[in-house]
Structure 1
Amino acid sequence: MFNSSFTFPFLRKSAVIFGAIFMLNACDQKQNEPILPPNSPPEIAQTEPQETQAKRDLLIRGVYDDVVINPLMLQRESQTAFLRDILEGLVIYNPQGEIIPAVAESWQTEDNKNWVFILREEAKWSNGQAVTAQDFVKSWRQLALSNSPLKSYLLFLNLANAREVMTYQQPVEKLGVEALNERMLHIRLDKAVPYLPAMLAHPALLPQYFAEHEGFVTNGAYRILGQKDDLIHLAKNEFYRDNSAIFFNRVDYQKILPDQALGEIDLIENPSQPTLQTLHLPKLCSYYYEFNFKDPQLAKSAVRKALVSMISTRSLVQSEKPSMLASNQLLPQSMQPEAEGGWEPSVVEQLLQQSGISETAPLQLRLTFDQESFHSAMAQRLIQMWSQSDMIRIIAEPVSRQVLLEKRAAGDFQIIRSGWCADYNDPSAFLMNFYSAGPDNKSGYHNRELDQLLEKTLDTISAQNRTALYAQAARILQKDNVVLPIFQYTTPFYLAPSLSGVEPNNSGGVIYSKDLRRNETAKTSHR
């Protein structure tokens, strides 16, 4: 049922990052396997749905992968939508992709290291029991002691004693999460993290119900009714807060094959068959090439500026799928600061000549990239653009994905294909990669002004001041041409014409079933 071997196409991610753990486009073609894992409660596999509501009240989501009911069993990013429908954490995303309170109604901190989250009094499990702070403590402790690769996210959070607990040097009770009472959750961090709330929407941190019970107990907008063949039936959770505002009383998750007709399906993430109803939501992922600042030539600002100015990102991606947004900045569009000043023309020859480069003494560089067809095609276009100058010579170095990662880690490159995806909606997820002492700074870039700005963002300051510091940091990286940006990823979704509630600029790329509605005027065109 679960395929433990999976690849990491298109993106570079550190070991703790969500996107590096899951495939983006996995398609299981085994038609007769059950959707739920073998150890699911018997009630789930045998129960038939009881309600017979009108089709108008039923949302059908198509999936290519098996769903999971335990966050620790997650293997692919595509499996998270189902979990987000049945389980809810301290915070969630709104339709615009912004973090909003969920089980936690509020939070507070004085030093960005010690946080107290206040849980809603009305937060309930689907059996009517209260969701308590202890539920989160138990869930996070279970994650720390599990074999799931997602437990590394606790390190990413800088949760106190996470490493010691995960390596059994400290008892799990020392993990930096404790229940002060039923509704107050204390989170202790090893260092200041002002953007912690944005990080808590990660599916690894979803709570689980640990008391004895029958069936599967949820705390999200929907509860599990049962399974029949390749269908999982969900019904509205009567104990969920703001239950009356949820349009769809029932949600079906239907496992489908890549070439299967869409039929009655309302929503599919990463559809294998592009249609006119495909909407591309921006993803917090950037694709770029890195320069090695330890290289004598690339350490020169004029050389990097010349190389970047020769590239038309729009031309690079125009022949590719519409899931790529051409970009000339490191940050995704939703995080980019307002531009300062006007466009500055660059004369490539003059910039190169400033660095002692000429036709008789050309700039010779090695371009390292994945040998997979997409990356190879992109690299060849780059080489073609740079080769328009007689002062530049590019040597192509196609390598396997594993070799690419090894070369980057060792600093064995001049220009290398790279990329980054954020696990939380905050510019720090990208900017911190260029902090001089940061573990993911493999380019050798060092800028004391940038370091000081990033250090200031960790202070206890207003969100407005922090945003201003992020903007300054982003402009420094842009001015220094630290990377060669190419495009921002998007996630394609098939949406039935009768469906509404999806914001086209949703930067989180998360669509909860509870936020969707049926458009009556378009219903007949779909049904």
Structure 2
Amino acid sequence: MYKNKITQALLLSAGMAVAATSFSTLAADVPAGVKLAAKQELVRGNGTEVESLDPQKVSGVPESNVLRDLLEGLVNQDGNGALVGGVAESWETEDNKTWIFHFRKDAKWSNGDPVVAEDFVYTWRRLADPKTGSPYASYLEMTTMANAGDIILGKKSPETLGVEAVDKHTLKVTLDKPVPYFASMTVHTSLKPVNKKVVESLGDKWTSPANYVGNGAYTLDKWVVNERIVLARSETYWDNDKTVLNQVTYLPIENQVAEMNRFLAGEVDVTYEMPNEHFKRLVKEYPEDVKVTPYLCSYYYEFNTTRAPFDNEDVRKALSYAIDRDVIAKFIVGKGETPAYNFTPLATNGLDVEMPQYSELSQKERVAKAKELLAKAGYGSDNPLKFDLLYNTSENHKKVAVAIASMWKKSLGVTAVLENQEWKSYLDTKRQGDFDVSRAGWCGDYNEASTFLAILRDGHSQNYPKYSSKSYDAQLDKALAAASDADRSAAYKGAEALLAKDMPIMPIYHYVNARLVNPKLGGYPEKNPEDNIFSKDMYIIAD
């Protein structure tokens, strides 16, 4: 974040240009009088086995958690979500279209190579290149980086992307449209750099522990698939003198009860989640260990709109209306989550949403409307609807799926056959479009409504429902071209209204982040709504 946080926030909210500014570095800030433990090793639950440790080939939270430690982008965040320097120690723009990033000269890769502007040029071209097949390629198009869309479609060469190494320590980025929050978008995992000579010489093998070259605060020491990923402190990291934790271990524990038990046994310092049914007991018995923090994240089900009968708007609406979101939020998950009738979390900066009409009905009235819509589509007792409901392996996801399937069966006579798949298979199934209805969750890549709404744009690489609406896309275009925050907010309101009308997804609830955290862990961020946790900023306190 800029030194004058209040002034910068006002500038960004007004869409105004900002001048060059230097930034303070951020590392573990141990308060005076705090005694550090002799053993500085952290163990984190990470939900599941990662899909990959290649930043341009992943799309999930578990992968981002690890990559945040292994790789450093242009910009980082502090514990409040404010921007701080990463590889770039300062940046500037005059019109929010041309951005200049100035690199710190002591940034290095773990093999000793200097981190230079050309590394980011190579990486971002690689992200856009259709040959890479990145599930996050469309993120570049969301930034409006020049020619990104045409490159992703194969119409232009990756070399035409709007990014240029002015010299070794200066990166110039050219956007097609002014994006006042562009710097915050560079925090994202997909834009973190890779070492060109390592990637091109080793191919997919570059991500093994023996070959991995990163520029983050930690290096990849061990990777035992389905067991653990162990990171070691990097001696080449530019701010290593301020890093405290010497080792970070990530455990792919899919069962929340098992993870809880390992935490209570002292084997895990930070859990990925908490078992919903144990939350109230844990709050009562271990109040110092339970951390509930804001989270820009939405839980929803998505329809495969290219597959009958989910190409029918009435069927989609009927299933959505029949979900009792109050029951799901308060009793099935019950950690402070809020029922969702729109996609974008209400705490998102600059969001103004008019709740859809069905949100104002009683649940009894919603079910009655759902029955009418389903009958109109030709389904009823003489022709019952049956389909598969896909979710990734997790006891918490299973509990939600069982509850919703029961609601559909009881109120509509609809049968949802539950199908769980482990993380990698689940992602692959969705990317191939081989599903009826699927569980989904989306967490903001930056704090602005477009990070949610843009994924449902026609052609977006994360648009698994295959939603296609010219009217919806036009609202997003209006937001990008908006001359004021009010105009941008109005466009987003229009986009949310279209989602409620067309119902390509069923919003269910907006998350909070609830997990168990060792009270001896200092520096744990409790006010970062994007839940971007950097291990380099934490430390273990002595008993």
Q: TM-score with structure 1 length normalisation?
A: 0.63
Residue segments in structure 1 that go unaligned for 5+ positions in a row: 1-53
Q: Which amino acid aligns with 1:106?
A: W
Structure 1 residue aligned with 2:337: 325
Counterpart of 2:348 (choices 326, 335, 340) is: 335
2:72–2:193 CA contact under 8 A, matched in 1:
yes
* Superimposed CA distance per residue, residues 197-236 of structure 1 (whole angstroms, 9 cap, x where no aligned partner): 4442233432356799xx998654x366988x99654268
* In 2: Cα distance, 1:266 partner to 1:348 partner: 43
- Within-5 A mapping of 1:47-126: 55-56=36-37, 59-63=40-44, 71=55, 77-97=61-81, 100-104=84-88, 105-108=90-93, 110=95, 112=97, 115-121=98-104, 124-125=107-108
Partner of 2:247: 252
Aligned pairs (5 A) from 1:59-458: 59-63=40-44, 71=55, 77-97=61-81, 100-104=84-88, 105-108=90-93, 110=95, 112=97, 115-121=98-104, 124-125=107-108, 131-140=115-124, 151-158=134-141, 173-188=159-174, 196-208=182-194, 219-220=215-216, 222=217, 232-234=231-233, 239-240=238-239, 246=242, 248-254=243-249, 263=266, 266-269=269-272, 276=286, 277-279=289-291, 282=295, 284-290=297-303, 299=313, 308-316=320-328, 320=332, 325-329=337-341, 330-335=343-348, 337=351, 340=354, 344-346=360-362, 347-348=365-366, 351=369, 362=380, 366-370=385-389, 378-379=400-401, 381-386=403-408, 392-398=412-418, 416-422=437-443, 424-425=445-446, 426-435=448-457, 440=463, 442=465, 446=469, 448=471, 450-458=472-480
Root-mean-square deviation (Å) = 5.5
**CA distance in 1: counterparts of 2:505 and 2:192, whole angstroms:** 35
| Partner Cα distance (1:165, 1:69) in 2 | 24
CA distance in 1, matches of 2:428, 2:212: 41
Q: Which of 461, 469, 480 in structure 1 is aligned with 2:491?
A: 469
Say if 2:212 and 2:220, in contact at 8 Å, map to a contact too: no
Structure 1: distance between partners of 2:221 and 2:496: 49
Q: Alignment partner of 2:524: what SS?
A: coil
Instruction: Determine if contact 1:91/1:102 at 8 Å carries over to the other structure.
Output: yes
Structure 1 residue 252: Cα displacement: 1.4
CA deviation digits over 1:253-272, x for unaligned, max 9? 24669676764864454589
Say if 1:436 and 1:365 are closer, same or farther in 2 by CA, change over 3 A: farther
3-state SS of 1:458 partner: helix
Amino acid at match of 1:91: V
Which one-letter code corresponds to 2:101 in the other structure?
I
Asked which structure has the greater CA Rg, the reply is 1
Q: SS state of the match for residue 476, structure 2?
A: helix
Q: Kindly provide the amino acid, as one letter, of the partner of residue 337 in structure 2.
A: L
Report the CA distance shift for 1:168/1:340 in structure 2 as closer, same or farther (over 3 A).
closer
Count of aligned positions: 450
Q: CA separation in 1, counterparts of 2:86 and 2:333?
A: 35
Gaps of 5+ in 2: 1-34, 199-210
Letter in 1 for 2:163: V
Kept in 2, the 8 Å contact 1:289–1:418? The answer is yes
Q: Per the alignment, do residues 58 and 136 of structure 1 end up closer, same or farther by CA in structure 2, a change over 3 Å counting?
A: farther
**Percent of residue pairs identical:** 22
Q: Which protein is richer in helix relative to its size? A: 2
Q: Structure 2 vs 1, CA of residues 283 and 378 (structure 1 numbering), >3 Å: closer, same or farther?
A: same
Match of 2:28 in 1: none
- Tell me which residue corresponds to 1:484: 506
For the Cα contact (< 8 Å) 1:96–1:508, is it kept in 2?
A: no
Q: CA deviation at 1:456?
A: 0.7
Three-state SS of the structure 2 residue aligned to 1:335 is: coil
Aligned mates of 2:370, 2:451 — CA distance in 1: 33
Q: Match for 2:385: what amino acid? A: R
Maintained 8 Å contact 1:225/1:234: no
Shift of residue 89, structure 1, vs aligned partner: 0.8
